[in-house]
Chain A
Amino acid sequence: MVKKEIYLFGTVIAILMFSQWIISKTLNPYLFMILMYCGINIILGVSLNIINGLTGQFSIGHAGFMAIGGYVSAAFSFYFFAPWISAMGLPFWLQTVGAHFFFLISLFLGGLTAAGFGYVVGLPSLHLRGDYLGIVTLGFGEIIRVLILNLDVIGGARGFTGIPSWSNFFWVYFFVVCVVLLSFRLVRSYHGRALLAIRENEIAAEAMGINITAYKVKAFMLSSFFAGIAGGLFAHYIGYLNPSSFTFIKSFEAIVIVVLGGMGSISGAVLAALITTILPEALRPLQEVTRLDFRMVIYPLLLLTLMLTRPQGILGTKEIGDVLPFLKRKSR
């Protein structure tokens, strides 16, 4: 069983590396950008799904955690790792290896810091239910943004420039695979079932002996960790961070992904992340025909129609395997 998973993981890494090579040779920068944003948004959506979809808590502060992860990892790369690498005077190929290595470390530092903040915010506020938690997390997201706005070491309102461009296809989709596999494993696990029970009926879950606050905080931290990773990947991709990228609108984008895909559906979140990222870009040619930017009129209209016709989201609480059975692995 464990061996099988190591093989699976190895295969995934090999495929990702191969794709990385192909993509770097063939894709134009514009399409590459869309591909990167797709990956980052999948990580955001699937991670938010852990707390909003699986645990049934309503968090609207995801952008805050993304910002923490982004800024922390960018700061480590900019102030420590990048200078170290250039100061060591290594041959070129070792510099590349070093960059990948330190990139991974700064991503983790960003993710862990975000998770730490998740703990600090979650512990007092996860006693709250429903809307109240929403308000607390919304407030938290704004506090983080305003804090960053006033921190001069990381650029303040001017933005943080000069972040090394270490992000690539491989790392983004490596974490996509991580968060998706982890979510799927989680849902079917002992601990995942506890989260689902909390979503279904908090009082009954408590009566089963589930420590609901502890589980909520853990889910919240896991979700924040991956939001932080997404932030780090984003920072090292465009090489520039600005507090205005992390307003509550960014949090709502993540919520749109979760709701559109269907609360609790992991593959739904992936699908919705692809739709919400690709659709606005796919509508771009329309702008040239009409000479007016109808894009942001049509895109929300499409979302509205979708929500009116399928209020439970594209997949509801189902997974893609339940809808298209041929995608399901036979041996289970």
Chain B
Amino acid sequence: MSLLSVENLTVAYGAITALRNVSLVVDTKEIVTLIGANGAGKTTLLRTLSGLLQPSIGTIHFNGENLSGKSPHLIVRSGISCAPEGRGIFPNLSVEDNLELGAFIRKDSKGIQKDKDFAFTLFPILKERRRQWAGTLSGGEQQMLTISRALMARPKLLLLDEPSLGLAPQVMKQIFSVIQSINAEGTTILLVEQNANMALHIAHRAYVLETGRIVLTDKAQALLNHPDVKKAYLGT
């Protein structure tokens, strides 16, 4: 059985429908990527999965549990953790406090310490800056912090919203390789990206979202060679 299964999801902002009849599945230990242009509904889908938006139609099943109508703080407790777009960090708190807040739902201080050290090995720069206010970090470092913080909840499923947004190519490469190693440690990842090239290279499977509908789905490798995807998203 799949870890996450979304069926016939329709989400609307008032009169405007952002997602129509979206169905997707994510299996355990996969990296699944969702690619699409601006306004395709990628972030809407992630926000719905985290409980920030309520679907008008459709169901979300996670780990055998129905998530529809659950509030965001309870969804985190069932094992979905989200690294929001635009680096939703806590700017006037230290890097360390940000990480500890990521582990808010956990009480095992030893495990938390261990995971904090793990985050510091993933991104050594965060260790150097751990006493600094998160707001003083550079964009790339803030992105690293967002991902590490989401990991601190020890999620079964990690949602990543545009981790490459506004990053220098070097930093982007670093972050994508960390995403792969997080996945290798056993965390399932749903990656939402505009940078289709990067995302398809690290993902196992992919969905293409266009104006609120899923138009294509296949193995990531296959999509890399798909003529329509090439033309629309890869620019080759």
Enumerate chain A interface residues (CB-CB to B < 8 A): 193-194, 196-197, 199-201, 203-212, 317
Contact = CB atoms under 8 A, between A and B. Distances in A.
Interface residues of B, number: 25
B88 A207 contact: yes
Interface of B: 50, 52, 71-74, 76-77, 81-82, 84, 88-93, 97, 100-102, 104-105, 149, 153
A211 B100 CA distance: 16
A289 to B, nearest CB: 45
A205 B92 CA distance: 13
Contacts of B97: 193, 196
A42 to B, nearest CB: 24
Contacts of A197: 90, 93, 101, 104
12 contacts: A197-B90, A197-B104, A200-B92, A200-B93, A201-B90, A203-B84, A204-B84, A206-B73, A208-B102, A209-B76, A210-B73, A210-B101
Looking at A194, A200, A209, which has the most chain B CB atoms within 10 Å of its CB?
A209
Contacts of B92: 196, 199-200, 317
B90 A206 contact: no
A194 B88 contact: no
A201 to B, nearest CB: 5
Given A193-B97, A193-B101, A209-B153, A204 B73 contact: no
Nearest to B159: A207
Contacts of A204: 84, 88-90
Contacts of A210: 73, 101, 104
A204 B93 CA distance: 13
Looking at A204, A206, A210, A212, which has the most chain B CB atoms within 10 Å of its CB?
A204
A199 B71 CA distance: 19
The 6 A-B residue pairs with the shortest CB-CB distance, nearest first, are A209-B76, A200-B90, A204-B88, A209-B105, A206-B72, A208-B104
B88 A201 contact: yes
B82 A207 contact: yes
A208 B153 contact: yes
Given A205-B90, A317-B92, 9 more contacts: A200-B89, A206-B52, A206-B71, A206-B73, A207-B72, A207-B88, A208-B104, A208-B105, A209-B77
